[in-house]
Structure 1
Amino acid sequence: MKEAIVLYPSPAIGHLISMVELGKLLLTHRPSLSIHILITNQAYDAGSTTAYIASVSGTLPSIAFHYFPTTTLPPDYSTTSPHHETLALELLRLNNPNVRRALTTISENYVVRGLIIDFFCVAAITIAHELNIPCYYFVTSGAGYLNFFLYVPTLHDKFAKSFKDFDAPIDVPGTPPLPPSDVAKPMQDRYDEAYKGFLDSSLKMQTSAGIIVDTFEKLELRAIRAIMDGECVPGGPTPPLYCIGPLISSREGDDGGSPECLTWLDLQPRGSVVFLCFGSLGVFSVEQLKEIATGLERSGQRFLWVVRNPIKTMPGIPDPDLGSLLPDGFLERTKERGLVINKWAPQVAVLSHGSVGGFVTHCGWNSVLEALCAGVPMLAWPLYAEQRHNRVLLVQEMRIALPVDELEDGRVSSDEVEKRVRELMESEEGKTVRERALAMKEEATAALSPGGSSWSALAGLIESWKRE
C-alpha cells in the first residue's frame, strides 16, 4: 500500500500556507508519499483560502484536500473569554468526529505514517492515539516561541499568578527574559479559557511523536539547544525536535502579471526602499495611518507601503480612496520617492528585489523568514498573537531587527516612525542588523542544502517513519 501523511492545519491562511509548504518539502524528499490536508471552516474571518487552495490543487496532484462539513458552535455555547482563539480551539475540538472519519477513510487505501497537527488542533491528538497513528506537532513559529510554549506548564505550577500580574521579566530557558506585557494576549490570564486551551496543548505536546519547527539551527542555536537538552520540560520527556525551516512559499498571489510595485522598484536605487507591510490581519486606525505617513514623509527615505483600509464598507460599495485616509497632499508630496498600494503586494518578490533595504513588519513568523531569506533587516512592529514575543527574539537574540516602541495607548508616534526608519537605513545599528540579516540569508541557504541542518532533520523525520 502507498504511504500517506495527513496534515491538519488551523484554517487561518498563514497556518495553512506553512502546512502546505511542509507537504511540498516532504514530497521533495519522498516523492512517493501521498499528502492529505484536512480543511475545516474558520471560527472567525482570518483571510480567504479558496484561491490559494485552488492554485495548489491545480499544480500538485500529490496533495489532496479533504473538506470537513461546516461545523458551528452550539447555540448554547458561551464563554467569558474575549479572545477569538477560544472559539478556534472549541471549533477544532468539535471537529474530532470528522478527523476520525477522515483518518479511517484514508487508512483504507494508504498506510498513514503520521498525523501532523497545528498546535491549535490539539484535540485531534487523542484520535491519533486511539487509531495508533503517530502524531506530530508542527509549530508555525520559531524555536524561541516553542521554548516558552513548552515551559508554560512549569511556570503554571511554579507561580500561582497570571502572567499579566508578573512584576518582573519571565525567565525561559534558552531565550532572553520576556517582559510580561509581551506574552501573547490569550496567554496573559491563567483563568481564561484560551489560556487553559494552550496549557492543555503544551501538556499534550509532550506526548507527541515529535515536534516539527519552521526554523533552522544557526538562527536559534541557544533556543534549540535548550529544548533538546530537556530544559523546557524539566519534569518529563521532550519529544524529538525536527528543525526543517525556513519554509518559504513561492505563492505570489492573486494576479498573474507583474504588479506595478515591482515595476516601480526597478526604478529605485539599490537597497534604498523601506517596505511596510503588516500581514493579512494588519489593519490600523485612520489616526495611526496618518502618524505612519507623517513619519515616513519626515524621514526622507524611499518607501513602498501596503495599506489596508480600516473603514468597513457595505458589499458593493467601493473602499474610500487611499488619499482620503492619509494626510492632505501626502501622496502628491511623496510621489517622487514613495508608493502606497492598496491591500496586497507580492511580498516574497518585493523582499527579494534589489531595491529593498528594510522591512517594517508585524513580526508574523512567515514574514520574518521571508525577510531573512532575502537578507533584509527589519523594524519590528508587532500587532497580535505571539508577535510581541517574536520582537524580543528578533531584536535581542537574533539581532536582525530594530524595535518600534509603542506609546502607553498602544499607538506608534510619527516621531518614532521617522526615527526608526532613519535608524534602519542610515545608522551604525542599522548597518549591524543589515550585515547580520545577510549572514543569516547565507545560513538559511546552507541549512536547506543537501547535508545542511534542516535537510538532515527532514531526512531524520522521514527515516523515523520507516521504523514505526
Structure 2
Amino acid sequence: MQITKPHAALLASPGMGHLIPVLELGNRLVNHHNLHITVFVVAASDITTEKISQLLDSSPNDHLDVMLLPSVDISGIVDPDTNMVTKIVVTMHESLPALRSAISGMKIRPTALIVDLFGTGAMPIADEFEMLKYVFIASNAWFLATTIYAPFVDKKVLDDEHVDQKKPLKIPGCSSVRFEDTLEAFLDSNDPLYHGYLSVGREISTADGILVNTWEDLEPKSLRALRDGKLLGGVAKAPVYPIGPLARTVGPVSENRVLEWLDMQPSESVIYVSFGSGGTLSSKQMIELAWGLELSQQRFIWVVRPPLENDVSGSFFTVGNGSMGTVDYLPDGFLNRIHNVGLVVPMWAPQAQILEHPSIGAFLSHCGWNSTLESITNGIPMIAWPLYAEQKMNATMLTEELKVSVRSKELPTERIVERQEIEMMVRKVMLDNERLGIKNKVKELKTSALKASSKGGSSYNSLSQLTQDCENRLQCLKVKAQGA
C-alpha cells in the first residue's frame, strides 16, 4: 500500500494490556489527525497474529498497519522466577535489533516513533533514523509524575524513609504516595527491577514529548506539576500531552452467552467482577469472594481463573493452579445456589461490551488503568481491588480523590478480605444510599471524558498540538538539512 499521509510508528510492549491502548492511540491518530500508523508489536504468549486480527477487525482501518516482531528467547538471560516486569524489560531490549531491522527495511520510514513505558530503550533507534521520539504512558499523570521524579529523589529518602520507615513519598505538586500504595520497583534497591525502573524514569524526560492517557479535568493537579518544572525539581523537561481517555473500542461480537444473559437482566442490576488479564486470587480469597457475592443477593458476572496456592491475592500474568474444567475451588453447591442470579465465566469475557451494557450497575475491578477508563467512560461505579503494579495508586485515586469507588479496609494483597466485608461493599455500590453520590460522580466524569476527546475538547486539542509540533519540528529538520 502506498502511504500518502504523514507516517508515525508505535511500539507496544508484550501483553494485551499494553497492546490495546497502543492500538487505540493508533486509531485516534489515523481517524482524527490524518496520520498513517505502523504498530510494531513485541511478541508475547497472549499475543498472536489471530488475536491482533480480531482486534483490528473490531475497528478496521486502512491506514493502520501492524507488524509482529519475531519472538525472542530470554530463558538464558533471566531466571524463570524473575518478576514479570523485569522479563518485559529484557524482552524489549532483546527485540531492539528486530525493530531496527524492520524500520530499516521500510520503503517509507516513519517520521516519528512513539514507544510505551517499557520501550524507552528504543529511543536511540529513533535518533539513528532521525525520527522524532515520544513516550506514551498508558496510565495516569500521577503515575507518570512518580516515575520521572523517583530517579532524582535522594536515595536516603527513597530507601530509608519511604521503604524502611514507611513514610509517604512526597511528589512535589502531586499527592504523596503512601508506602502501602508504592510501586514494587521501589521495595528492594538490590533488585535489578529497582535500577531498571529508575533508568526508565530518567529516559522518559529525554523524549520530544510525553503522551499520557488522562485528561485535563481528571487530573489537573498532577498535570500542572508536570508542566511546572519548579514543582518537580525541573526533571519534567519534555512537553506533556494529556490525550485520554483512550479506552477499548467496542466492536461487533458474535453470539455470546454472557451478553445474552445480560439482555435478560434489569437495568443497572448486575455487578461485573474481573481482575484483568493478569490477576488471580488465592484459594481462600476466592472462597470468600464467592460467599460475599452470594450473601449480597445481587446479580453478578464473575470472570474466574484457577486460584493460586498462596494465602494472599495478587499475581502478575500468572495462571493459577488447577483446571478450568472443574469447580473444586468454589464453595460446595455454589453454582447451584446462584444459577438464577449469577454467571461464572471461565478465563475471559468481552469486557468492553459488558461494561457498556445497560444492565451493568457496578464493576469489582483490579484497577488496571485500561479497566478503570472503560468503567469511567461507561459511567460505572467501582469496587477497587488492586493487586499489583500501580493499581494500588489507582485505587487510592479512585476512592479518595475521584470518589467513584469503594474499597476494603485493608489491601487484598495484605490479608484475606472476608465475605461480610465483600457483601457490604457490593451492597454499598448496588443498593445503599451512598451509591447515589458515587454514581453521580462517575456520570460527571463520563461526560467530562466525552467532552475532552471530542473535537475541540482538551485531549483532542492536545493530540492536535502534538501533531502540529511534530510537523513544525520536521520542517525545521528539513530546513537544517537543506542548509547543510
The worse-fitting range, judged by mean Cα deviation, of 455-464 and 243-252 is 243-252
Q: Which amino acid aligns with 1:102?
A: A
Other-structure match for 1:71: 72
TM-score (ref. length: structure 1): 0.90
Aligned with residue 153 of structure 1, among 130, 134, 151: 151
Other-structure match for 2:316: none
> Matched residues in 2 for 1:382 and 1:407: separation?
7
1:294-313 equivalences under 5 Å are 294-310=291-307
Per the TM alignment, residue 365 of structure 1 is displaced from its structure 2 partner at its CA by 0.5
1:455-466 equivalences under 5 Å are 455-466=460-471
The worse-fitting range, judged by mean Cα deviation, of 242-251 and 400-409 is 400-409
Per the TM alignment, residue 39 of structure 1 is displaced from its structure 2 partner at its CA by 2.1
Q: Which amino acid aligns with 2:9?
A: V
Conserved 8 A contact 1:302-1:338 = yes
Other-structure match for 2:62: 61
Correspondence 1:351 to 2:363:
no
The worse-fitting range, judged by mean Cα deviation, of 85-94 and 156-165 is 156-165
Other-structure match for 1:328: 332
> Matched residues in 2 for 1:205 and 1:319: separation?
41
> Matched residues in 1 for 2:288 and 2:93: separation?
42
Other-structure match for 1:119: 117
> Matched residues in 1 for 2:140 and 2:283: separation?
32
TM-score (ref. length: structure 2): 0.88
Correspondence 1:383 to 2:387:
yes
> Matched residues in 1 for 2:335 and 2:153: separation?
50
Per the TM alignment, residue 49 of structure 1 is displaced from its structure 2 partner at its CA by 4.1
CA deviations on 1:104-157 (whole Å, 9 max, x unpaired) are: 223x424x2210001111211122223321110000111121121121123245
1:159 is paired with a residue whose SS is helix
Other-structure match for 1:11: 14
The worse-fitting range, judged by mean Cα deviation, of 451-460 and 171-180 is 171-180
Conserved 8 A contact 2:148-2:236 = no
2:198 is paired with a residue whose SS is helix
Other-structure match for 1:372: 376
> Matched residues in 2 for 1:67 and 1:346: separation?
23
Aligned with residue 446 of structure 2, among 441, 462, 466: 441
Gaps of 5+ in 2: 310-318, 474-484
> Matched residues in 1 for 2:69 and 2:301: separation?
40
CA deviations on 1:282-314 (whole Å, 9 max, x unpaired) are: 2223322111011111112221211123389x9
Correspondence 1:363 to 2:362:
no
Other-structure match for 2:99: 99
Other-structure match for 1:271: 268
Aligned with residue 39 of structure 2, among 37, 40, 50: 37
2:188 is paired with a residue whose SS is coil
Other-structure match for 1:431: 436
Per the TM alignment, residue 280 of structure 1 is displaced from its structure 2 partner at its CA by 0.9
Gaps of 5+ in 1: none
> Matched residues in 1 for 2:290 and 2:9: separation?
45
2:424 is paired with a residue whose SS is helix
Q: 1:156 to 1:41 in 2, by over 3 A?
A: farther
Q: CA RMSD in A?
A: 2.5
Conserved 8 A contact 1:244-1:454 = yes
Per the TM alignment, residue 232 of structure 1 is displaced from its structure 2 partner at its CA by 5.6
Other-structure match for 1:413: 418
Per the TM alignment, residue 268 of structure 1 is displaced from its structure 2 partner at its CA by 2.0
Conserved 8 A contact 1:79-1:193 = no
Share of identical aligned residues, percent? 34
Conserved 8 A contact 2:113-2:133 = yes
Q: Which amino acid aligns with 1:117?
A: V
> Matched residues in 2 for 1:49 and 1:185: separation?
29
Per the TM alignment, residue 74 of structure 1 is displaced from its structure 2 partner at its CA by 6.8
The worse-fitting range, judged by mean Cα deviation, of 407-416 and 4-13 is 407-416
Conserved 8 A contact 1:230-1:238 = yes
> Matched residues in 1 for 2:347 and 2:71: separation?
28
Q: Which amino acid aligns with 1:98?
A: A
